[in-house]
Amino acid sequence: MALTAKRLRAAILAGTLAFVAAPVRAADEAEVKDFLLDNGLELVVIPDHRAPIVTHMVWYKIGSADEPPGKSGIAHFFEHLMFKATTNHAAGEFDRAVSDIGGSNNAFTSYDYTAFHETVPPSALEQMMGFEADRMRNLILTDDVIKTERDVILEERRSRIDSNPQAVLEEEVSATLWQNQPYRIPVIGWMQEMKQLNRPDAKAFYDSYYRPNNAVVVVVGDVDPDAVKAMAERTFGKVARGPDLRPRIRPVEPEQNTKRTVTLTDARVSVPSFSTQWVVPSYHTARDGEAEALDLLAEILGGGNRSRLYQQLVVKQGIAADAGAYFQGTMLDATNFTVYGSPRGDAKLADVEAAVDAEIVRIAKEGVTDDELERAKNRYVRSMIFARDKQDDMANIYGSTLATGGNVKDVQEWPDRIRKVTADQVKAVATRYLVLDHSTTGYLLPQQQAGN
Amino acid sequence: MALTAKRLRAAILAGTLAFVAAPVRAADEAEVKDFLLDNGLELVVIPDHRAPIVTHMVWYKIGSADEPPGKSGIAHFFEHLMFKATTNHAAGEFDRAVSDIGGSNNAFTSYDYTAFHETVPPSALEQMMGFEADRMRNLILTDDVIKTERDVILEERRSRIDSNPQAVLEEEVSATLWQNQPYRIPVIGWMQEMKQLNRPDAKAFYDSYYRPNNAVVVVVGDVDPDAVKAMAERTFGKVARGPDLRPRIRPVEPEQNTKRTVTLTDARVSVPSFSTQWVVPSYHTARDGEAEALDLLAEILGGGNRSRLYQQLVVKQGIAADAGAYFQGTMLDATNFTVYGSPRGDAKLADVEAAVDAEIVRIAKEGVTDDELERAKNRYVRSMIFARDKQDDMANIYGSTLATGGNVKDVQEWPDRIRKVTADQVKAVATRYLVLDHSTTGYLLPQQQAGN
């Protein structure tokens, strides 16, 4: 379907949103309302009266990392299947209803969640809730539906992964970095397993996870929280609670003891590049402010053009076309911290990597200055204001946090926790986690530069 | 317990036995008897009247690759638990009975099976069967037994893996080579998961897999097959059949697209070494004689001191202390083909690796000569005669084949299938599978040679 490209992109981006954007200002905290319906569905309402529009998101606490062994791709498969016919609506009816009122809708899948969302005028919110409540339980999963949509996801894999050297490399880097955790397995699935997904698999998955007690509904916009709650009760509230779900306890990583590399050489690559990743705690698994310190470490080391990597490699030395760092904090299990770079002009990839490594060694050894820490915190505050301006960012922050073991308070107190991080804490996480001998580096090389 | 070191060694070796040794001569084939008891237990009896001794092995078709996610180590845990008290015998009673009659016993665990065995005078065979039949179903699994024996396996992991850089590297190479298949997970288990193994886990595992319909009993020695069958019926035959087991269909590997490396640098390493591995079909997954061709490829390329790698690197160039190749053919799922080497004198590890790679490229490009193929086949024939001399090798060949999807005929016809392999077939598997850009290489480096 036409939406699939956009959907996959959203899936890939979802994990980084909390890092790019940031939560509401303290002044708005009291306005956020968190309800729990009798059937276990959680409803979070964030009033935003600047424009007559509302963003409605349904987050299911089921992602690719929850899939049964050998069934990779089934979580993302549902991102597609949920747009097919239900016992109450023909396939495409929901999409047409959204278009008819000038709204937009989409869906995305990540390791830890699957989300469906619409942006519409407030008058259409209850209708959207009705459609979402309907497809939560009433999908018609026939062999024919499965076969047709399976062909779509297979083609999606071919076009978005298999024909893209960067995507193939990223898959194998993940399969290398993660020795035990299911983040090793691609969200879209391994081809040989996707091909075998069938109706019994889909039915079992749907019946286990598409339940009100496994969902978080986030509504941001020009609405009144109590009125939204009443709408949710009239729609989602009619859906029967499902059996209790087992705690999301997944295999975790063993100790990291080696330096690993993954190299893909491909004639379609023109500019070589590399990325180095480490296993680090996420907001959900970290203790003692380590996740907040990792967010600031990523910002100082490589978060944009004020960062050390950009200033040193791109501006001063002029050897890199690009260089940076990021931390995927909003994950249920241990996550990754990544640095990356690519050369410019006559510079070699090895020179860029060496310069990035030198910055890693320096920040782990010497730490950061109070001044640059303060500036990094200020950049975060600015990003919060930016996020506040975008309704869908706000919805994403709440939804991704709530779907990965956090709560409303975690989102709201996050700015304060960021402000409390000290330079010593940033140095401590750099020293503890950014150990080059225990990292995984991916290299994307043009054919002629295989020996680089 | 004192046996654990020996047990783990056996576990690691088990997978390679079929490669080191080989099946019976055709002349003996008619003597092998294969029975199926009413409760689903398979019994294979191989008469060998040269000495008044018998080897009795019970193979369970359950190995570490069958473990539930997050429960790594539980298959090997049973290698230990099976020596504890049952409702009929105190802990240690079975071991003492074996010692009292001058016999020996042990057990081992691999990815695809767990086996228990005794070597005793024929007069004690039925007693051994009685003990084995008893512990197949009557183990007493208390919290206390679990806790005590869990401490033993944790200590076993510390002493045999964590304190041994070579073993740590091998673990992480496997976790890298296998992107999806459970051979990625160490047989002994990941420490953090072993620590959490508990009584409910153990009970569920025992009840699922320790059943006559999941076992193969192999008896080799100075016995009469029909008499052995009667004994088996009087002992194992009394154990009720368990619920049918699901087919052993596990996640399989995606396409290999990258070159990967894993490097461990450790002060305890004195001589550097490397090994390169590829994912290749096993006897169970291969088609068209590919596994037989891989066995001969390994023999010609690196099977002992007549092989190309040994002759070229150790004898002619004098740069290697050791170099060779092996193929782990007896596995249920896709398996690995491995080459390895370490330098001698002033030679660098990189020189040895380059020389090994050159032999890989040469054999893939030029194939093998009819003459060296004939000599490789003859070496196999000699190894068969050697295997025939060792009762326990014979039992291992039958047991490991039957526990990984093969049958008695597969074992018996194997020499003929080896004899039929052509030079073209050997070249074809070398070309198809030994692609350096799609391999995983492990490096073990001394501290001072980190930059090697």
Alpha helix ranges (H) inside A15-124: 17-20, 74-81, 93-100
Contact at CB, A257 and B172, closer than 8 angstroms = yes
Distance between first and last Cα of chain A: 40
What value does the mean pLDDT take over residues B188-194?
98
Interface test with chain B among A258, A443, A445, by most B beta carbons within 10 Å: A258
From the number of C-beta atoms within 10 Å of its C-beta (0-12, 13-18, 19+), residue A144 rates as exposed
Contact at CB, B263 and A259, closer than 8 angstroms = yes
Contact at CB, B257 and A179, closer than 8 angstroms = no
Q: Which CATH class is domain A32-238?
A: alpha beta
Closest Cα in chain B to A254: B190
Beta strands in B161-315 (DSSP E): 215-221, 259-266, 273-280
Pick left, alpha or beta for residue A345 (phi over 0 → left; psi -120 to 50 → alpha; otherwise beta). left
Do the beta carbons of residue B199 and residue B152 sit within 8 Å?
A: no
Residue B262, SS3 per DSSP: strand
Contact at CB, B263 and A264, closer than 8 angstroms = no
Query: Residue A316: CB partners within 8 Å, gap ≥ 6?
Result: none
Cα dihedral B29, B35, B41, B45 in deg (nearest 10): -40
Alpha-carbon distance B167 to nearest alpha carbon in chain A (angstroms): 11
**Residue B382 has what pLDDT?**
79
Contact at CB, B260 and A176, closer than 8 angstroms = yes
DSSP string for B276-301? EEEEE--TTT--TTHHHHHHHHHHHH
CATH architecture of B260-449: 2-Layer Sandwich (3.30)
| B263 neighbourhood in chain A, CB within 8 Å | 258-261, 437
**Residue B29 has what pLDDT?**
56
**Residue A288 has what pLDDT?**
83
Contact at CB, A263 and B263, closer than 8 angstroms = no
Alpha-carbon distance A54 to nearest alpha carbon in chain B (angstroms): 41
Alpha helix ranges (H) inside B66-158: 74-81, 93-100, 125-137, 143-157
**pLDDT tens readout for residues B41-92:** 999 999 999 899 999 999 999 999 999 999 999 999 999 999 999 999 999 9
Has residue B96 got a pLDDT over 60? yes
What is the ipTM, given to two decimal places?
0.87
* Least CB–CB distance from A258: residue in B182, B257, B262: B262
Cα dihedral A372, A377, A379, A384 in deg (nearest 10): 180
* Least CB–CB distance from A262: residue in B191, B260, B264: B260
Catalytic residue at A79?
Answer: yes
Q: Are strands B440-446 and B273-280 parallel, antiparallel or unpaired?
A: antiparallel
Has residue A8 got a pLDDT over 50? no
In the numeric block, the tokens 């964030």 are attached to: A46
* Least CB–CB distance from B252: residue in A171, A192, A260: A192
**Residue A22 has what pLDDT?**
40
Lowest mean pLDDT among A373-387, B75-89, B247-261, B341-355: A373-387
Closest Cα in chain A to B442: A260
Do the beta carbons of residue B78 and residue B204 sit within 8 Å?
A: no
Alpha-carbon distance B343 to nearest alpha carbon in chain A (angstroms): 21
- Percent of chain A having pLDDT more than 70? 92
Side chain identity at residue B228, one-letter code: V
Question: Could you tell me which residues of chain A have a Cβ less than 8 Å from any Cβ in chain B?
Answer: 69-70, 72, 168-169, 171-172, 175-176, 179-180, 182, 184-185, 190-193, 249-252, 254-255, 257-265, 437
In chain A, which residues fall in CATH 3.30.830.10? 32-238, 260-449
**Residue A178 has what pLDDT?**
98
**pLDDT tens readout for residues A108-130:** 999 999 999 999 999 999 999 99
**pLDDT tens readout for residues A150-200:** 999 999 999 999 999 999 999 999 999 999 999 999 999 999 999 999 999
**Residue A34 has what pLDDT?**
96
| B179 neighbourhood in chain A, CB within 8 Å | 172, 175-176, 184
Do the beta carbons of residue A402 and residue A45 sit within 8 Å?
A: no
**Residue A28 has what pLDDT?**
58
User: CA A275, CA A442: separation in Å to the nearest integer?
Assistant: 5
* Least CB–CB distance from A179: residue in B70, B172, B264: B172
Average of per-residue pLDDT values in chain A: 92
Interface test with chain A among B157, B179, B444, by most A beta carbons within 10 Å: B179
Contact at CB, B184 and A179, closer than 8 angstroms = yes
**pLDDT tens readout for residues B124-171:** 999 999 999 999 999 999 999 999 999 999 999 999 999 999 999 999
What value does the mean pLDDT take over residues B220-240?
97
Has residue A5 got a pLDDT over 50? no
Q: What is this structure's pTM?
A: 0.90
Q: Which is higher by pLDDT, A297 or A388?
A: A297
Side chain identity at residue B248, one-letter code: R
**pLDDT tens readout for residues B279-295:** 999 999 999 899 999 99
Contact at CB, B265 and A259, closer than 8 angstroms = yes
Report residue B448's pLDDT band, with 50, 70 and 90 as the boundaries.
confident
Selecting among A42, A67, A79, A156, the annotated active-site residue is A79
**Residue A385 has what pLDDT?**
67
**Residue B412 has what pLDDT?**
87
Average of per-residue pLDDT values in chain B: 92
Q: Cβ of A27: how many Cβ atoms within 10 Å?
A: 8
Contact at CB, A254 and B191, closer than 8 angstroms = yes
Catalytic residues of B: 79
Closest Cα in chain A to B254: A190
In the numeric block, the tokens 């276990």 are attached to: A40
**Residue A29 has what pLDDT?**
56
Contact at CB, B168 and A258, closer than 8 angstroms = yes
